[in-house]
Amino acid sequence: MLLCVFSRFVTIVVETYRPRETIFMHKLILFLGFLSGITPSIVAINETCSTDQDCKVQEKSVCLNDHCTCDYLSYYQETKRKCLKYVTEYDEFCLESEQCHPFLGANSQCDQVSNRCSCISTYKWYQGTCRKYSKKGESCIEQDTICLDAINPLALHCSNSTGMCECADGYYDRGGDSDCRKISYIDLDCAISADCFPTCDKFDVPNVYSHCELGFCKKTTVHKEHFSLYKKDVCNTSLTTSMEFSVSLQDTNDTTCLNGLLQDFTEQQCRNCPKTTYFLDRQCICAPGYFLDDNGKCIPELGMVDSTANYVNSSECPIKPSKLVDNKCYCRDYWFQTSNNRQCKKTTLEYTKNCMDNDWCLAMGPYAYCNDTTMKCQCNSQSTLNETTFLCVAKSDANMTDICLSDRDCPLYETCTNERCRCTEGFYRFNLSDVCLPKINSSCEVRDCTHIANARCSDITGLCECESPDDVTDGLQCLKLVNKLYDECLIEEQCKTVNHSSCLNQSEAMDNVTRCLCSQQYLDVNGTCYAKKSPGSLCNNQKDCTVILGESFICRNMLCQCPLGKSLNVAGSMCVSSSGSNSVTLLRTVAIFLLIYFL
């Protein structure tokens, strides 16, 4: 501590000297610090350093040009007193909006509920930028406003005649707030019966309609309500609107640029290739609209043209299962796009209602969710299912306050489970707190560990940890190990020092205090817990038997039993000579002795 103060003092004094001497002095201080066992990360931001290790870990700074500085991809936040990293992906963790702007642009923000970089309201991440969008039935005349459906960018278009977003050709309107869905026909893919329309060649046969069965439209004679729609709109719409045309590829023979791994790009290539960007003149990353896949390549997000490849077949799309339209990859019909545009998710089927997560249930409208017990889609408590339309309709007295449907509706460190936001694994509401706080081993990046006695936020790992490395924890408390059997304990982990003991309530003591006691099937002998034995129990050595059963027993053939020539007494507690009981033998000996003595 003293040395720490001293070194800080020296730091201030030596800064007026020439840099070479300063660095020397620092090296000396760090060396002294090392000798005395003090962690040598003492140099604050803007002060002189010689290696990254010198700089204060909690400030997350590095040693650049002999000074502790935020690295080129981060900036110093005055109130938080640390370097914050610029975010280079949509939906990545953030603390404030400044972190989001360089990559996601001016219309992005750090969402204060979820602490993730996202677009400001009425904007959506699409084709590598936050774009102003309108939903079905909303105006799209304003410049740069696109029509965007929640889950399928192909489903809506801006109508020239009305200036409103409407269902695109080949899509039908489910009414109300719901999405537009792809029209399907007999023998083709579907998810719900409303998707199935009669086919044109069956037009002449009256009352032939179709319904969805196990993912395919099948002939049926119901769904009359679709008939007029079919007559009016459908027959002249070609089913596969897929059109293949080529984009002009970058005029290059650079194979790295065309198809290379991000790690192989030189700075020049990174600057010139359309799929990569040299972020803040410092780091090669995938350009907005592209992301790094598991193989290290930048691939286009859904709905984005791949500017270095000319796809001619859906099977070439990097994200699957896909559908190629206008040279852009989208999700296959009845699969839908996730909000980060990187995944195609399956949808539930009307027939099974099966789901893996809430996203699958979007086919039932915005109020449906996945019951994690039954793994079936169901309407939330404030809505009911209309069997005909397969939509969850809000009840007349619906109150959607405090109801969540997905994790996106929940604050930081909370997960939506059964319509309610609950603390994510590793976090909990301490003392009925409004927010979820970290347990031991969970992140203290945003909320510290002061609610746990004897715990601190580790500078190195950024996790809550017990102050003393000898402490044990159940995640909620940091406690000392017990010294011996019968010491008081609160958690099981404290009893680790005594083998075969557990933290238990001693029923006979009645003092309602939990202590480390021998576990079931173990007995206390002089403060050590030994496995209970009875004659005939398995043993490994003599002591296993004698410590519990007494010295008369031995371990023979791996069983606690009497030595040869002896057998159990009547009570079964001791081994005695087979000819009779010990006491009889003793009496007999004494009698013989007395007899000899007196004769």
Question: b or e along 444-471 (b: 16 or more beta carbons within 10 Å of the residue's beta carbon)?
Answer: beebebebbeebebbeeeebbbbeeeeb
Binders in 358-377 for ligand NAG, by CB under 6 A: 371, 373-374
User: Is residue 399 a contact point for ligand NAG (CB under 6 A)?
Assistant: yes
Residue 207 CB partners (closer than 8 Å, separation 6+): 221
- Which 8-state DSSP code applies to residue 458? -
User: Is residue 324 a contact point for ligand NAG (CB under 6 A)?
Assistant: no
Quote the CA–CA distance of 84 and 393 in Å, as a whole number: 44
Residue 226 CB partners (closer than 8 Å, separation 6+): 194, 197, 198, 209
Q: Let me know: does 181 contact 398? Beta carbons within 8 Å.
A: no
Binders in 53-112 for ligand NAG, by CB under 6 A: 76
Among 16, 228, 295, 526, binds ligand NAG (CB under 6 A): 526
User: Is residue 547 a contact point for ligand NAG (CB under 6 A)?
Assistant: yes
Of the pair 285, 545, the CB lying nearest ligand NAG is at: 545
Quote the CA–CA distance of 435 and 414 in Å, as a whole number: 9
- Which 8-state DSSP code applies to residue 43? B
User: Is residue 36 a contact point for ligand NAG (CB under 6 A)?
Assistant: no
Binders in 285-304 for ligand NAG, by CB under 6 A: none
Among 324, 440, 479, 575, binds ligand NAG (CB under 6 A): 440
User: Is residue 589 a contact point for ligand NAG (CB under 6 A)?
Assistant: no
**What's the token pair of residue 400?**
């959607």
**What's the token pair of residue 250?**
């970058």
Q: What are phi and psi of 57, to 5 degrees?
A: -60, -40
User: Is residue 388 a contact point for ligand NAG (CB under 6 A)?
Assistant: yes
Q: What are phi and psi of 414, to 5 degrees?
A: -125, 150
Q: What is the nearest approach in angstroms of ligand NAG to the Cβ of residue 579?
A: 29
Of the pair 102, 426, the CB lying nearest ligand NAG is at: 426
Residue count, binding to ligand NAG (CB under 6 A): 30
Q: What is the nearest approach in angstroms of ligand NAG to the Cβ of residue 399?
A: 4
User: Is residue 341 a contact point for ligand NAG (CB under 6 A)?
Assistant: no
* Mask for 1-30, x = binds ligand NAG (CB under 6 A): ------------------------------
Q: What is the nearest approach in angstroms of ligand NAG to the Cβ of residue 504?
A: 13
Q: What is the nearest approach in angstroms of ligand NAG to the Cβ of residue 298?
A: 21
Among 16, 160, 507, 540, binds ligand NAG (CB under 6 A): 160
3-state SS of 136-189 is CCCECCCCCCEECCCCCCCCEEECCCCCEEEECCCEEECCCCCCEEECEEECCE
Of the pair 16, 526, the CB lying nearest ligand NAG is at: 526
Quote the CA–CA distance of 30 and 156 in Å, as a whole number: 64
Q: What is the nearest approach in angstroms of ligand NAG to the Cβ of residue 199?
A: 13
Q: Which stretch binds ligand NAG (CB under 6 A): 30-38, 120-128, 296-304, 385-393?
A: 385-393
Q: Which stretch binds ligand NAG (CB under 6 A): 186-194, 229-237, 265-273, 277-285?
A: 229-237
* Mask for 164-203, x = binds ligand NAG (CB under 6 A): ----------------------------------------
Quote the CA–CA distance of 180 and 183 in Å, as a whole number: 9
Of the pair 13, 453, the CB lying nearest ligand NAG is at: 453
Q: What is the nearest approach in angstroms of ligand NAG to the Cβ of residue 371?
A: 4
Q: What is the nearest approach in angstroms of ligand NAG to the Cβ of residue 319?
A: 16
Of the pair 405, 576, the CB lying nearest ligand NAG is at: 405
Q: What is the nearest approach in angstroms of ligand NAG to the Cβ of residue 599?
A: 41
Quote the CA–CA distance of 589 and 583 in Å, as a whole number: 10
User: Is residue 468 a contact point for ligand NAG (CB under 6 A)?
Assistant: no
Among 184, 389, 477, 537, binds ligand NAG (CB under 6 A): 389
Is the link from the previous residue into 321 a cis peptide, with omega within 30 of 0? yes
CA angle 314, 318, 320 (to 5 degrees): 65
Q: Please report the beta strands in 372-440, taking only residues with DSSP state E, as ranges in sequence order.
A: 376-379, 383-386, 391-394, 414-417, 420-423, 427-428, 437-438
* Mask for 241-280, x = binds ligand NAG (CB under 6 A): ----------x-x---------------------------
Q: Let me know: does 473 contact 465? Beta carbons within 8 Å.
A: no
Q: 417, exposed or middle or buried, with CB in 10 Å at 0-12, 13-18, 19+?
A: middle
Residues forming the site for ligand NAG (CB under 6 A): 45-46, 76, 160, 231, 235-236, 251, 253, 313, 315, 371, 373-374, 386, 388-389, 399, 401-402, 418, 431, 440-441, 473, 475, 512, 525-526, 547
